[in-house]
Structure 1
Amino acid sequence: MTARRADTLGDLEHEVGVLIRRVRRVIGLRARAVHPDLMPSSYLMLAYVAEQGPLRASEIAEQFDIDKGAVSRQVAHLTELGLLARVADPEDGRALLVSVSEEGRTRLTDVARHRRKWLDERLGDWSEAELTGFVETLGRYNRALDG
């Protein structure tokens, strides 16, 4: 590895660190925008269930690498807030699936709409090509680190 590449990789680590701190802050803001009592970790779970659901709690536990008890507590909390619903698994009547309630979906959609408007304002001077290129590069970066 050349010294220049090492410096560039150090710059990358720095910028990713800034991104992570920003994402953590933004997730907290989004969680409170969905519901004032929603915790950031529960927001991430809610968003995942909205994208992938309905799911069994065991699938959520595996995806988030947390124990089933923690998932059960978060699902109970999200259900109490009216953001998730539990439904019988049509393939196994003994099991329950977790899905986003209509209220949860509406709130997530509203937050996403506001977030995209905010991003559009902040990135208004980026061309479509620059934005598309950044998305493609970030996707490539994420895929490389998953492998």
Structure 2
Amino acid sequence: MSASRPESLRQLEHEVGVLIRRIRRVIGERSRAVHPDLQPASYLLLAYLAESGPMRSSAIAGTFDVDKGAISRQVQHLVDLGLVDRQPDPDDGRATLVSASESAVRRLAEVSSERRRWLDERLSDWSDDDLRGLVESLGRYNGALD
């Protein structure tokens, strides 16, 4: 007998809560693997910059829905660690673009590759179809919540 819809929704909330706790732990581990002094919140910003390319801090603030002052402090933290570079915006000399440094991009790629190897080991008994199904379901779930 299958669970009722309300029970399934309760179980979904529980499993998402477990996932969130795990993600928080993993982000902490990844941030320390990139740089021992990298704060987890700044790791997410750095990963976004590495993926998206140079941008203004105001655009980052809009993307993360975070106060510009908080983004400014995170960017400065990343600059101090040598993980982010600043350069003038070619479209507006008064503005500055920030981007992940080459060493940050390289280290992020290494950490991500290590994590994928770890995941592959942990999910070794999953078939390709099982894995693909999870990816599709998570994509559908995330799309429904946007």
Q: How high is the TM-score relative to the length of structure 2?
A: 0.96
In structure 1, the partner of 2:100 is 100
In structure 2, the partner of 1:40 is 40
Superposed CA deviations along residues 9-67 of structure 1, whole A, max 9, x for unmatched, are 00000000000000001100000000000000000000011111211100111111111
1:50 aligns with 2:71: no
Offset of residue 127 of structure 1 = 1.0
In structure 2, the partner of 1:20 is 20
Q: CA RMSD in A?
A: 0.9
Offset of residue 87 of structure 1 = 1.2
Unaligned runs of 5+ in 2: none
Superposed CA deviations along residues 49-88 of structure 1, whole A, max 9, x for unmatched, are 1111211100111111111111111101101101100111
2: distance between equivalents of 1:72 and 1:53? 17
1: distance between equivalents of 2:133 and 2:93? 46
1: distance between equivalents of 2:135 and 2:141? 10
Question: Alignment partner of 1:55: what SS?
Answer: coil
In structure 1, the partner of 2:70 is 70
Question: Alignment partner of 1:32: what SS?
Answer: helix
What is the percent sequence identity of the aligned residues? 66
In structure 2, the partner of 1:90 is 90
Q: How high is the TM-score relative to the length of structure 1?
A: 0.95
1: distance between equivalents of 2:47 and 2:111? 11
1:125 aligns with 2:117: no
* Deviant stretches of 4+, over 3 Å: none
In structure 2, the partner of 1:112 is 112
Superposed CA deviations along residues 119-143 of structure 1, whole A, max 9, x for unmatched, are 0000111111111111011000001
In structure 2, the partner of 1:80 is 80
Alignment size in residue pairs: 144
- 1:68 maps to a residue whose letter is K
- 1:12 maps to a residue whose letter is L
Offset of residue 145 of structure 1 = 0.5
Unaligned runs of 5+ in 1: none
